[in-house]
Structures are given as C-alpha cells and as structure tokens.
Structure 1
C-alpha cells in the first residue's frame, strides 16, 4: 500500500517510519496540508494520512476517488474537517485515532490553569530581567474551587480525575454520564448550572453543530465574573471576538487556549518572521490574562507513538480487510 502522509512534521515522520518498518507500507511524507491546492500530490497513492487542519471536504474527496485513493487515515481523534457523508458516498474508508493519550491533553489543560492562576509566564520574564517583585502575581488556591468540565469522554474524564486530586469540586456535563466519575465524586448537572456555578470551565467536547461557539456572549452572561475558560478541544467551541469582549468587561478573568478557530492558517508553522493576518488573534495575545499555545496538548512522546502505531494499524486493517472499531465510514 502506497500512503501519502500530509501535514507531516519531522517528529511525525520519525514515529511513523519506526512503526511502519517492515509492515508492507510505502510511506511518502509531505509537509503541506491536504487541500484542493495540493490534491495533485496524491496521484499514484492508495491511501492518505491527514491531521487536524487538512481540508478534506467533498471536492477533495471526489478528487481522491478519481485518483484511486481508497483510504483516509486520520492521525487525530477529531474528524470535523472530513466530509464523512461524501467519503461514504465515494466508498472511501475513513479511520481515526480515538484514544491516543487522554492524559496528555488533560495534563496540558491543567498546565494552562496553573500558568494562568500562578502567572508563571509573567514571573519567568520578570526574573530573567532581574525583577523579583511579587506585586501583580497573586494567584488562588485550587483546593475548594468549583471546576466545570464540559464533555467527559476519555480526555474529559482524565481531566476530572486530576482536578479531584487538587481537592476541587468537579461538576460535569455530558450527554452520556460516566458512572465511574460519579463514583469518584463528580456530579453531573445541566449545562446552564455549569455556567452559573463554576470558577473554572474546561472544554473537552467534540465540535459539531450543537457545540459550535458554545462559549459566546449568551453563555458568558450566565457565568461568574472573573471565570477561567480553558479550551484544549476544538477552536470553534469559543467565539473569539465575544471572548475578547468578555475579557474587556472582566467577565472572563483568565483565558487559556490550545486551539483557535482560524488556527489552520497559523498553527504548526514558524510564523515568527511573518505578520499574522488575523487581527482578532493578535488582539487576544495582548491581554496579560490570556495564554495561548499552538495545539500542543497532544504533544508527548507517548501520544505520538500511539498515534503512529494506531495509524499504521488502521491502514493494515483496511489492507487486510479486517474489522476495525476505529473506522468512521
């Protein structure tokens, strides 16, 4: 099987090459994203492997079919960037990696909480400049605070367990409550109650029509003044401009983002010598109580290895016509 790997960075190539060794797969690596602009690269390949910001829309899928591609192996859990209906109509199988390392993303969400709370990002620069003053670096104890977790799948559940370890009161919202989390002392309540009662709200839900811009001016109005919002899931869960308005008003006291709605234009690339053509994003970075990371929540050794291993396994399962629970179409 000849596989074209898109959005491939050096670390992806290293792990994929390791797990593809002697597996009857011929891997070709492309740093560019898959889109209509790069579709010509798939000529002669049987399968493509893509990541979170590849644009696999209906037009791209039709071209993949015409080029003879039979398989799309995603190297991520989310699949909102793939037109699954179009893939099914074209007879193209789509696989994903539903469980690569829930704790890696959950731990990164906690890292954002701790950074924003204890202002370690600001303290680091002060000390580098010889400034050891503590004024402006006041934080708060996490113990006893109310943390709202929206979405309690594998990542959300891992996050809840960590926050319980801090001594937090953990409130959850999910269409499918976890009895395991309930047994551990977490409480499931209505979404509006999450908004009203939480000191910290962390998003761990998928992006779909019902969750698009879940954090907006209407949901923010229901929250405590000075609430902390953390998003390590999908960028479009947060309406960026309305979050900025809430930062100005003080409704949002802390904002931690590892994802951004328009991230496909900037994330995973070195933009340090470029002018970022996104005024909303640039404005967000000016706030001292905002911390943004470049979609690195998943980025641990354990997660990368598991992503590579599962991606290779998905391709081999399809090649050998075996059943696979990670198949989406």
Structure 2
C-alpha cells in the first residue's frame, strides 16, 4: 500500500480553504465581487503555493518596442529578476512582457462568451507584443535568440457546462477551430483540468477533492523555469531611457569628430570615426560603427573628403 503523501494533503487542505472562500465571495451581489475573488485567489491560493521566485500581481503588460499596453490581466505571474514591474501597490502594476511567465484569466462562472474573451486576450498578447533579446554577442551587442512567450491560462470557480455534453477542452476546441489554441490550460475548480501539449488536450475530470487545482498549480511549477530561462537578461534601460532627440559625445581628449544623421529617423549626432591604423582618404560619406539608438538605422555623415593618418582624422572638407 502506498504511503500517504502528506505534502499533497497539506496542499489540498490549503486549496480547499482558498477555493471555498473565493466561491463564497463570488456569491455576493455587490459591485466589487471580481476584485474580492482575485484578492482571495492571489493571497490564499497562488501566492502561498507557488515558489517564492514567482511574483504574483494584477494589472497590464507593456512592451518596450511600441509602448503597447494590454488590457487588464486578472493575475500575472512574473519573475522580477528578469525585469521589475512598476507597482502602484503591493500587487497592481505595469509588467514588462519579458518578465511575464503566465497570465491567468479568472472567471467566476466560465461560459462560451467568457472563454472567447480569454482567447482574444491571449491571442493579442501572443501576436502583438514583442520581446527584447536577453543575450549579447561577442561584441556586446544584443542578439536575437529563441524566446518562449508567456503562457495564457484560464482558472474558473464554476462552469455553465453540465451533464454528459462537451468538456471544457472540447468546447474551446470548437471555438478556436483552425486558429491556434492561445489558451494553454483550463481549470474549473472541483470539476476538470486540461492542458495543451502541442498535439492533444490532456487532462481529467472527477478526481479526488480539488485534484484538478493541484494539477493546475503543478503544471505551472513544472514549466515556469523553462519559460523564465529562455528570456535571458534584457536591458531595463530600454524601458527607462527616453527616446533620444539628438546625441553628442563629450570628448575625453582633443580628437576630430564628424556630424552624422540617421538614414531612418533623421536623428543627428557627433562621432569620432574609427577605421583602424590606416593612411587613407575617403571621398564620400562615413558610416558610424554604432546604429541609431532610436531605430537601429545607419548613421552617416554628409558627403565630403576625409583624410586619415594612422587611423586618425586629420583633415575634413564636408559638403
């Protein structure tokens, strides 16, 4: 006979308590029902039972490329060691997408309309948000690499499905049809749990008390490290530094420089040209080694004559 799993039993008791409180709050008719349910699920279920390196919050997600903001996300699971959120209070804030591992849409009663809304929100996050690279090449420049996008899941306290009809995975499959299953997992407390393994929806119904919630939490804990490690260490400055209007270099010594401008956005600046230890005369334009800080465009000088001795600019005739 198998030894009773005391760890699992303790988790089950905590899950049972948290779900009972959330379901009781969901039965109220006042305007703040959703907020009360979220607060209970965050404080009594997800935060205590998930590993300490997973932050749990609520709010909106942002990307640095366009400044695009998501709609309100019920629960955001994030790793602040990747990039920190800006929090209004202990939980509510704005989360850089590179740090977001999971989003959880919470439904008091899951129905077809709520499921479609969750799918549309997940599709927007998957299709319209970009991720900063978190790795650098040998020259210290950011390089593109494989990044696992955030996983969108649904957690419900109840469902309008009944009888021997469709299960939640089958209902969702009918909804998204030939589209991608942007929702990766669905859990209805006390009823069923499903996750998409890429080829099939895998799950179960009618287990022991809150087996489906334990499986849902276990699924998150089994996968979050893989998602997190794919992100690397993106530069926080991409979110903090304002867009440049122009740039200059304060010379550390008396060296000649040239004026350059971006071919893409027109940003103007000043650089010290680097060509190696050569004696050469350039008739034409010079291109800066570094790309435009705004748009990654090429920074070029005006056409002219540029004379170099041992790699140093000694004479220029611009225009």
TM-score, normalised to structure 2, is 0.29
Using CA pairs under 8 Å that are at least 6 residues apart, name the structure with larger relative contact order, 1 or 2: 1
Q: Mark the structure with the bigger radius of gyration.
A: 2
Structure with more strand by fraction: 2
